[in-house]
Amino acid sequence: MTPGALLASRRDWAVPAGVTVGVALLLIGGNLAGNGALGGFEPGDAGMLAGWEHGSLLRVVAVWIANWFGFPVGADTGLVLLYVMLAGVGSAIAYRALRVSDWPAAQALLAVALFAANGLLVYSVTTASHEFLLLLVLAALIPARRLLEAVGDVQSIINYGLTLTLLLMAGPPLAMLIPVLVLAVPLRDVEARQKPQVFGAMLLVAVVPTLIIMAGVWALAARAGLPLDVMIEPFTQTVSLSPQPIVASLLLLAATAPVGIGMFIHLLVADRRRKILTSILALLLPAYLLVGNSQLDWEFAVWLPAAAMMATTMGWLGATRVRPWMRLLTLGLLAAGTMASWLLAPTWADAAWLDGLLPMRLFQLSL
């Protein structure tokens, strides 16, 4: 089904799906607030730039919007409300992408519901964690990469380059991937590998959006008089060694995000629609976060690699047409991962957050 045909269809459930997810997360957040568990997630302040603790420009923007949007209820609640809105919009986009990829409406709705109900994602939204913004970026990167691999025209290169700016804005760990991902643009083209001028032109088209964002950030920082050490501290910490046990995060990845198995099977099964590099990238990104967070001073939550696998898989599913049996397998794996995420919640979630889920007391109103 083409996007135009989908928009013309009366059975487009994208908006209801997004609203339903948003309302459900809002109710969970309201219950946490009613039980006094929503506090403690107040956005931090790095010098004069709130939200820059992890070098994430997206977090800075989110905190700024929360301070403006949530002034009647407080910055922490405003940030949660913003995240709920982003999750709702993301769910609507995910449903529509699945439908464009020939998923039946019922299966697409079930996939979005299982994805949104995963405990890791519910936790990342309702705690307003900075990891949630990384998940959005990872989910957006995979479709852009697949379009580049499938089409490879100038428009797809520009779209891919714009998506890479999100990696820069998401923080140093993902920004470190930009040189490799940019070089992948000309290296995939036979003519670019043979002609230096074509290589340079394709490289320039891909990297210019990122360079513009970098220049803009530094110009704004200089104009605001922000200390240079405040701006570069998150980037210097990114390469600081800080070995930590990897087993817990690895087991959580295997238990709560088994949906990655579907992508691996897709790589092994011959299919004319298969895009090998995109599938490999979707599998390697969570592994990159897993290894990096265990060896370097990234200070990400232990559940991030598992949630990242969920995000890259959803981006991959929305950009890849899979066979009917693969859709059913994916739904089964999503269901298994969602159940496991809640059963294992005491091992990865904050105890105060778990205690705040019950009893039902929306914004101090006992039910």
Per-residue pLDDT of the chain (367 residues; tens, 9 = 90+): 555 555 545 468 999 999 999 999 989 988 887 777 775 544 444 444 666 777 788 888 888 887 776 556 666 778 888 999 999 999 999 999 999 999 999 999 999 999 999 999 999 999 989 899 999 999 999 999 999 988 888 889 889 999 999 998 898 999 999 999 999 888 888 888 888 888 888 888 888 888 888 887 777 777 767 776 777 778 887 888 888 889 999 999 999 999 999 999 988 887 777 888 899 999 999 999 999 999 998 989 999 999 999 999 999 999 999 999 999 999 999 999 999 999 999 999 999 899 888 777 665 554 4
How high is the pLDDT of residue 43?
A: 46
How high is the pLDDT of residue 32?
A: 86
Closest CA to 166 of 129, 141, 131, 132: 141
How high is the pLDDT of residue 125?
A: 94
How high is the pLDDT of residue 330?
A: 95
How high is the pLDDT of residue 367?
A: 47
C-alpha gyration radius of the chain: 21
How high is the pLDDT of residue 275?
A: 85
How high is the pLDDT of residue 261?
A: 92
Contact 98, 318 (CB under 8 A): yes
How high is the pLDDT of residue 36?
A: 76
Alpha helices in the chain (DSSP H): 3-8, 14-34, 57-69, 75-100, 105-117, 119-126, 131-150, 154-170, 172-175, 178-187, 190-194, 196-224, 228-238, 247-256, 260-268, 276-295, 304-319, 324-343, 345-348, 351-356
Domain extents for the chain? 3-348
